[in-house]
């Protein structure tokens, strides 16, 4: 199943569980109320959904659960304005509107047989999480998988409940970092681009996927270039604001591309061909 017949019409979903990940990020695990639609729901890693709070508004979030684990759809929401504040007020049992799946996805087929380097900062770990879980569930299809995940402080680290597994798996090389020393922190301290340079991932036959705040992305790109990664080997997601999500309203366009249908996933090589409107 893909979108509902009318792409503007949200489907009603029930929140089955919430997790307060950090002081500003709350995760929602939801199921479509229409059980037949839920059973038939499928998506690809990197696709997004529009979540609506009735009477408030609608905004875009990546589906950060994996298509290989469809008990529920997971969205993690950083509080930034009106709609995200209204979402944060919702709890298990409440209903919201969902339009999903929308947008393109990570080119996971073309990544088969390659080494993968995930570099996530803050809420930027959400789009990486869906692909990471998908790859771990299809582990033999991929080469060495490395994850560098950074946040400002231990409290700002999302998905804490998964970190013990990610750091202990033999088939996943995980490095966690925070910006400044903190009591009890047993992992790295340092900015993501610097830690990436220390990790020295090999560029040959590798793909780097990076998401995070613009300043982190800027210096991470420089670090990846130093390590020998070509533009086409670097993939990111664009968070240019979306409205209709289906290529009609023109809210998200950059030149001739629409982030909602040509993206949000782009290689750095593709981004360089777009007009400088970001
Ligand atoms: C493809 C895509 C995927 C996204 N995935 C996630 C996700 O998984 N988790 C998450 O927390 N957020 C994600 N976002 C960002 C999220 O959509 C916005 O934070 C949200 O729309 C803000 O809504 P609001 O009503 O609370 O804020 P508003 O009241 O609309 O705005 C509050 C502030 O945030 C700024 N803002 C709003 N939307 C954006 C945006 N898209 N990019 C940059 N600044 C913005 C506004 O300029 C303003 O300063 C994603 C956005 C896109 C386009
Ligand atoms: S959000 Fe309407 S065209 Fe992309």
Q: Where are the domains of the chain?
A: 11-102, 115-230, 238-278
Work out the pLDDT band at 278, boundaries 50, 70, 90.
low
Mean predicted lDDT score pLDDT of the chain? 95
Ligand 1 atom having least distance to the Cα of 87: 26
The three-point CA angle 240-253-100 to 5° equals 65
Is the pLDDT reported for residue 178 higher than 90?
Answer: yes
**C-alpha of residue 31 to centroid of ligand 1, in Å:** 22
| Predicted local distance difference test score (pLDDT) of residue 256 | 87
Task: Please give the average per-residue pLDDT across 47-69, as a whole number.
Answer: 96
Question: Which atom of ligand 2 lies nearest, measured to the CA of 252?
Answer: 4
Tell me, which fold does domain 238-278 have in CATH?
A: Dihydroorotate dehydrogenase B (pyrk subunit); domain 3 (2.10.240)
pLDDT band at 232 (very low <50, low <70, confident <90, very high): very high
Q: At what angle do helices 192-199 and 214-226 cross, to 10 degrees?
A: 20
Using the structure block, give the residue that is written with the tokens 């998200």. Answer: 252
Q: HSE-up of 19 (CA within 13 Å, CB side)?
A: 14
* pLDDT at position 18: 98
> Which one of 3.40.50.80, 3.40.640.10, 3.40.309.10, 3.40.50.10190 gives the CATH number of domain 115-230?
3.40.50.80
Backbone torsions φ then ψ of 184, nearest 5 degrees: 85, -5
φ and ψ at residue 265, rounded to 5 degrees:
-85, 125
Tokens of 31: 């199921």
CATH number given to 11-102: 2.40.30.10
Average pLDDT on 149-170 reads 97
Per-residue model confidence as pLDDT tens digits over 99-130: 999 999 999 999 999 999 999 999 999 999 99
**Cα 252 to middle of ligand 2, angstroms:** 5
pLDDT, position 117: 98
pLDDT the model gives residue 276: 74
Q: Given pLDDT bands bounded at 50, 70 and 90, which one contains residue 89?
A: very high
Q: Using a 6 Å CB cutoff, which residues line ligand 2?
A: 242-245, 247-252, 258, 260
Who's near 140: CB < 8 A, 6+ residues apart? none
What distance in angstroms lies between residue 213's CA and the mean position of ligand 1's atoms? 12
Distances in whole angstroms, Cα of residue 139 to Cα of each of 43, 194, 241 = 19, 28, 33
What mean pLDDT comes out for the span 137-150?
A: 98
Neighbouring C-beta atoms of residue 235, cutoff 10 Å: 23
3-state helix, strand, coil in the chain (%, to 5): 30, 30, 40
Chain segment 1-52, per-residue pLDDT in tens: 555 678 889 999 999 999 999 999 999 999 999 999 999 999 999 999 999 9
């Amino acid at each position: 199943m893909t979108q509902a017949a009318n792409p503007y019409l949200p489907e009603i979903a029930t929140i089955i569980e919430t997790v307060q990940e950090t002081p500003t990020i709350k995760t929602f695990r939801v199921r479509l109320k229409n059980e037949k639609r839920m059973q038939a729901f499928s998506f690809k890693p990197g696709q997004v959904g529009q979540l609506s709070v009735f009477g408030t508004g609608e905004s875009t979030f990546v589906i950060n659960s994996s298509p290989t684990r469809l008990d529920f759809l997971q969205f993690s929401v950083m509080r930034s304005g009106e709609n995200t504040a209204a979402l944060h007020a919702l709890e298990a049992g409440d209903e919201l509107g969902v339009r999903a799946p929308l947008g393109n996805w990570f080119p996971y087929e073309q990544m088969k047989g390659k080494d993968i380097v995930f570099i996530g900062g803050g809420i930027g770990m959400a789009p990486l999480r869906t692909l990471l879980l998908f790859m771990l569930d299809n582990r033999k299809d991929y080469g060495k998988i490395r994850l560098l995940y950074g946040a400002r402080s231990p409290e700002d680290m999302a998905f804490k409940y998964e970190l013990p597994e990610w750091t202990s798996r033999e088939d996943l090389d995980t490095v966690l970092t925070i910006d400044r020393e903190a009591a009890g922190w047993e992992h790295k301290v340092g900015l993501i681009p610097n830690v990436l340079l220390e990790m020295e991932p090999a560029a040959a036959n590798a793909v780097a996927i990076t998401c995070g705040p613009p300043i982190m992305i800027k210096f991470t790109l420089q670090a990846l270039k130093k390590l020998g990664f070509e533009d086409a080997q670097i993939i990111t997601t664009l968070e240019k604001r979306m409205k209709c999500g289906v290529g009609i309203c023109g809210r998200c366009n950059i030149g001739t591309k629409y982030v909602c249908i040509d993206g949000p996933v782009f290689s750095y090589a593709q981004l360089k061909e777009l007009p400088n409107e970001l």
